[in-house]
């Protein structure tokens, strides 16, 4: 699995080099943003609709799986209705 992230500037890099690689970095960052935005939107929707991050009562891996899949099932049932 490869995680893509927009390119950040490097401190101390000469301005001449920054100007030369800026176009390529901007294109790459735009492409990464276009891929990541829909994925982040889905996760934000899940968090908003299910409050899935509140699992303070979970004590085991099995309990976490039940919590997670139960919340996901509820979200998709609510979406279907």
Is pTM, for the whole model, over 0.85?
no
Q: Is 4 inside a domain boundary? A: no
Give the number of other Cβ atoms within 10 Å of residue 77's Cβ: 9
The pLDDT mean for the chain works out to: 86
Q: Is 60 inside a domain boundary? A: yes
pLDDT digits (tens), the chain, 81 positions: 788 888 877 788 888 888 888 888 889 989 988 988 998 998 898 888 888 888 788 889 999 899 889 988 988 898 888
Asked whether 16 and 43 are in contact (CB, 8 A), the reply is: no
Q: Is 1 inside a domain boundary? A: no
Domain count across the chain:
1
Which residues constitute the domain of residue 47?
15-80
Q: Is 44 inside a domain boundary? A: yes
Q: Is 32 inside a domain boundary? A: yes
Q: Is 61 inside a domain boundary? A: yes
CA angle, 25 then 26 then 31, to 5°: 100
Q: Is 5 inside a domain boundary? A: no
């Amino acid at each position: 699995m490869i995680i893509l992230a927009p390119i950040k500037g490097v401190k101390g890099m000469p301005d001449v080099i920054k100007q030369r690689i800026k176009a390529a970095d901007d294109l790459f960052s735009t492409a990464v943003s276009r891929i990541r935005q829909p994925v982040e939107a889905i996760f934000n929707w899940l968090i908003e609709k299910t409050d899935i991050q509140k699992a303070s009562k979970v004590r085991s891996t099995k309990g976490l799986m039940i919590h997670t899949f139960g919340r996901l099932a509820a979200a998709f049932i609510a979406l279907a209705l």
